[in-house]
Amino acid sequence: MATEKDNERSADERSLITTEVTAEATNRSDSRTNSVITTTDLDVYYGDERALDGVDIGIPENRVTAIIGPSGCGKSTFLRCINRMNDQIDSCRVDGTLGFHGKNVYDDDVDPVALRRKIGMVFQKPNPFPKSIYDNVAYGLRVQGLEDDVDLDEEVERALRGAALWDEVNDQLDSSGLDLSGGQQQRLCIARAIAPDPEVILMDEPTSALDPVAASKIEDLIDDLAEEYTVVIVTHNMQQAARISDRTAVFLTGGNLVEYDETATIFENPEHDRVEDYITGKFG
């Protein structure tokens, strides 16, 4: 039976594309219950160099999925594929399919800007704009052309609360986002990412530039975010992946997804020796 959330999602999915979603796409979405993102034989090339090789994965809704693996194995490439940030790299070519609710985001009728409203991103280095705290958060709504449809003050507050930053900044919304501490700046970037009310948040090593206390706050926040959003996080920190994720995908050199399972299984009883060697620090 279709729930209210399913109906909302269908509406969101429709807004993603400029033509109607076909019955076939809708059925595909239903048959992959719970997977909000699914890839089939996904290859990514930069020029002639292959960065991802035949990746098949289904990322569950409202869970935290960690992507781990040694430097250069394609983690950032994979993350950027999901909301088509790789479009901005001229030499980059994607083969295979990447479904968001069963709709291939690389189809010609998908609008990447609308896609990024649904799939937001947070980067390794906090990158607030040289604007006020308020305008940093409102930016996410303005860029999507939503500012006239919503109560901006309310939405800015909602996003800052959602990013666990409101209590620290509510009396200085006009101050520059750049005057915040590194950890606060990263939470501001999370507020900016959640302001347009996405479904998925992609995070590329979001705590690696932060001190342990600030990193721990972001980890707590990720746990809260997963109640409402699907979170995909790249991390080099094994303990972090083990602590915060429900599922873990291990990529190894050559852009291969070698193992993907419940996080406890990956860390306690991985199937592949190479995965065990990687997570126990024997290489990487």
Ligand X SMILES: Nc1ncnc2c1ncn2[C@@H]1O[C@H](COP(=O)(O)OP(=O)(O)OP(=O)(O)O)[C@@H](O)[C@H]1O
List residues near Mg ion by CB under 5 A. Answer: 76
- Give 171's contacts (C-beta < 8 A, 6+ positions apart): none
72 makes contact with ligand X (CB under 6 A): yes
Stretch that binds ligand X, among 13-21, 30-38, 73-81, 155-163 (CB under 6 A): 73-81
Q: Looking at 34-42, 71-79, 195-203, 240-248, which segment touches ligand X (CB under 6 A)?
A: 71-79
Note whether 46 binds ligand X by CB under 6 A: yes
Q: Quick one: 76 or 235, whose CB is closer to Mg ion? A: 76
Question: Closer CB to ligand X, residue 65 or residue 184?
Answer: 65
Geometric angle at alpha carbon 74, from 70 and 80, rounded to 5°? 135
Nearer to ligand X, 32 or 93 (CB): 93
Considering only 29, 39, 65, 76, the residue that binds ligand X (CB under 6 A) is 76
Asked if 207 and 240 touch (Cβ cutoff 8 Å), the reply is yes
Residues 6 or more apart whose CB falls under 8 angstroms from that of 49 comprise: none
Q: Binding residue for ligand X (CB under 6 A) from 22, 30, 89, 149?
A: 89
- How far apart, in Å, do the first and last CA atoms of the chain sit? 46
Any contact of residue 45 with ligand X (CB under 6 A)?
Answer: no
Question: Of all helices (H) and strands (E), which one includes residue 245?
Answer: none
Residue 113 in the binding site for ligand X (CB under 6 A): no
Task: Give the C-alpha separation, 180 to 168, whole Å.
Answer: 10
Q: What angle do CA 169, 170, 171 make, to 5 degrees?
A: 90
CA distances (Å), 82 to each of 44, 70, 142, 240, 270, in order? 12, 20, 22, 22, 26
Reduced to 3 states (helix: H, G, I; strand: E, B; else coil), residue 155 is helix
Closest CB to ligand X among 216 and 256?
A: 256
Interacting span for ligand X (CB under 6 A) from 69-77, 159-167, 178-186, 275-283: 69-77
- Of 76 and 240, CB closest to Mg ion: 76
**Contacting residue, 38, 77, 207, 235, with ligand X by CB under 6 A:** 77
Residues near ligand X (CB under 6 A): 46, 51, 69, 71-77, 89, 91
